Amino acid sequence: MVYNSLLIATSNQGKLTEINHLLKELLITPYQKTNLKILSYRDFPPMEEIEENSISYEDNAVKKAVLSAKRFNLPSLADDSGLEVEVLEGKPGVNSRYFGGEISFKEKRKLLLKLLSEIPFEDRIARFVCVTVLALPPGELFISRGEVYGYINQEERGDKGFGYDPIFYYPKFNRTFGELEEFEKNQVSHRAKALEALIPKILPLF
């Protein structure tokens, strides 16, 4: 079946902006899929939020994608991502969004930096993880995963990106994700890697 719209199963503006730009780079520009209309929850009346209460990225992403595909009868793309710090045994991980409770991401970053204040830079190894799921209304599922390794910086740097980007130092560029230009981050990010793997599944739908 051919569709004319792809639903991004999120209302998070930072994530939506990033996925939109990635799709333009990975799909629309190389393959000239200019007829593809990208929608999100923001294009529909407010609805009850789908809780991300699983213990795995994959389960959270599958839940969002499947429910969205059924609800809107559209191919739906969902992801779940998190920051894993080695010396914290992988925390905050799948709970990255809820780390520290109902506080802003700026406060979450400050809390994480405080927890690591006595840890030398070379031991602050971390990775971003993203699991992306494409769900089709008939029930088909496609799943991909992307990771990127770096370190937790000793202070915030940069005001680009969102979430934990300003404290995630990427050695190859000698900058945090918060300092990278959009096109630079899109070359190496966990979300870019996961999404790129699904492009062969997205292409035939439009």
Catalytic residues: 80
Do residues 7 and 23 lie in contact, with contact meaning Cβ atoms separated by under 8 Å? no
- Hey, what are 21's tokens? 């730009």
Distance CA 28, CA 177 (A): 25
124-to-116, 120, 169, 175, 182 alpha-carbon distances in Å? 8, 7, 10, 15, 25
Chain center to CA of 94: 12
* Nearest CA among 87, 103, 69, 57 for reference residue 1: 69
Distance CA 164, CA 156 (A): 9
SS (H, E, C) 132-184: EEEECCCCCEEEEEEEEEEEECCCCCCCCCCCCHHHEEEHHHCEEHHHCCHHH
What element of type H or E holds 84? strand 76-85
* Nearest CA among 33, 36, 26 for reference residue 4: 36
